[in-house]
A and B are shown apart, each in its own frame.
Chain A
Amino acid sequence: MGLLDRLRWKRDKIASVLFLLPSVILVGIFVYGFIGWTGLVSLSNWNRLLPDYTLVGLRNYFKLFIHPRFQIDMHNLAVFTGLFVTSSLVIGFLLAILLDRRIRGEGIFRTIYLYPMSLSFIVTGVVWRWLLNPGSPQMGSAGINQLLDRLGLDFLKSGWYTDPRIGIIAVAIAAIWQMSGYVMALYLAGLRSIPEELREAARVDGASELQVYRYVVLPFLRPVTLGAVIILGHISLKVYDLIVAMTGPGIGFSCDVPAYFMWESAFHANRFARGAAIAIILLLMVSLLIVPYLIHSLRREAQV
């Protein structure tokens, strides 16, 4: 390498760092810096409008764990996540294998299943609040309940989000409506990447269609399932907009979640330290899901 080449190489090396620099600085401050700052607030005594950074240790966390509303929120979040993730996976997988059977009009079906994904949770919430309005004893059933009446399925009727026992389930139904098509798209892409010879070989070996799915298709789709669980899981832990638009915290906090409690604590009640503590707990939960996945993909790439 001549001197000129070496100089140029060096110049480009420096330039490449300069290209990345704006993004690295912005992400460094707005993601990592702000998370650290929030962590600091969560350890402070800032529970009124003006900042107060007197450190109080983990007091905000301890108080939170015995706070009745927070306990209900965590319980709701568990119910919501369980129902939302499993139902979306099952519906998405079912739709994908049905669509994979050389369906006429596949494009139209796919478009219909996936369009809710392009909508805002606010729009979804506004519509589903109406659809799942149970009606009143005087006026009779409304919305979905009325439809169930007419179909002779009135045993499925429910108070939906007005019933404190199942409020959060009603919210999950709307979320499943919005996201299950996305899982369908993921699985369909996965199914299409399975070489046809593989399935054919299993059939030649005498596998029934069910066994082909059990022993060839499902193992092949395992990474897709993992990816879908991670995406759905982190969406679920962050759910906020949908609840704002659809129900609010509900009767006895039956539709409340930590993200909602966080926002109210910080920006309505000026209890910034408590809000920050909830936010950090949410972040830790999301990290438990995401960090192993990110490290795994980093390692896998290093091997290539």
Chain B
Amino acid sequence: MTRIELKIKTERRAPHGRRRTIRSLVGRAAIYFMLSAFAVFYLVPVYVLVVTGLKSFEEASLYRMWELPSNPSLESFRKALLGGFGFEGIAPNLKNSLMITIPAALGSALLGSLNGYVLTKWRFRGSNALFTLMLFGMFIPYQSVLIPLVQSLMKLGLYGTIPGIILVHIVYGIPITTLIFRNYYATVPTELVEAAKVDGAGILGIYRRVMLPLSWPGFVVAMIWQFTSIWNDFLFAVTIVQDPLVQPVTVALNNLAGSFIVEWNVQMAGALLAALPTLLVYIFLGRYFMRGLLAGSLKG
């Protein structure tokens, strides 16, 4: 019955006559035009980054920003990486960013997974309230913890060090990774856990043998999310790490771009290099990136 009705409806909605076809064609064209216009708006900065990065110093000027390079070369990228007259390159900082981002993303994902497991499969009185209290940490302006953070890291001898900033990113990553894993484990049937309990498995055994093998999608989402936000962090890095040799790439890029000695083409090449890792992650693993985005916004 419903199927027949639906069929009638679609028939009624089908455009009849030439006039209607033309009108809907114009409408379609307008939609594609608007979508393309927005696409141009979003792509303009990348165009400028790439084109300027490929230019020489003589060509890279404010007034010739839109022109294509007459003689494209990778020289600016080399300079941005290795440095030039009067400035340091960002190659060591890219390495620092990797050394910070990977362990911190792993650490916070692991803690998030433990928390998500307990908060979904071993709930206790007040566990939801505890989760909400944790979640609050995700939204705070980090300015409200910076002064004590610097004081404490100094006392612990971790101020200005890579382990120090890794610790900071692990701790402030706990709320979001807990949220991601809690949402993810909520989709794992509780019967699996109950069955393992009946078989005599304990809390750790169930985690290792039942949950962990099922967890990789959760880990992918949490790791990608954490990789992106830690790689892109500036506030913690600029506050905690003063030594240019220890700073991650966001701070180094800001210094590079703030220096009057450094040519525009080198600045743009540096910006592109700093953006590349997260950009590649987004392009190739966009599906998981999206899931992290949605987890961060709409609660489970």
Identify the A interface with B (CB < 8 A).
8, 11-13, 15-17, 19-20, 22-24, 26-27, 30-35, 37-38, 41, 51, 91, 94-95, 98-99, 101, 103, 109, 111-124, 126-131, 133, 135, 139-143, 146-147, 177, 181-182, 185-186, 189, 200, 203-204, 223-224, 227-228, 231, 234, 237-238, 240-241, 244-245, 259, 262-263, 266-267, 272, 275-276, 278-280, 282-283, 286, 290-291, 294-295, 297-298, 301-302
Contact = CB atoms under 8 A, between A and B. Distances in A.
Contacts of A32: 133
B4 interface: no
B293 A23 contact: no
A245 B149 contact: no
A8 B201 CA distance: 10
B35 A31 contact: no
Contacts of B290: 114, 185
Contacts of B202: 8, 11-12, 15
Contacts, number: 270
A130 B44 CA distance: 12
Contact of A27 (B174, B228, B257): B174
A24 to B, nearest CB: 7
A113 B286 CA distance: 12
B298 A111 contact: no
B141 interface: yes
Interface of B: 6, 9, 13, 31-32, 34-35, 38-39, 41-45, 48-49, 52, 62-63, 65-66, 111, 114-115, 117-119, 122, 124, 128-130, 132-137, 139-149, 151-152, 168, 170-172, 174-175, 178, 202-204, 228, 231-235, 238-239, 250, 253-254, 257, 264, 267-268, 271, 274-275, 278-279, 281-283, 286, 289-290, 293-294, 296-299
Contacts of B45: 116, 124, 127-128, 131, 177
B279 A119 contact: yes
A294 B39 CA distance: 35
Given A22-B111, A177-B45, 6 more contacts: A31-B137, A103-B32, A130-B268, A142-B63, A224-B298, A298-B128
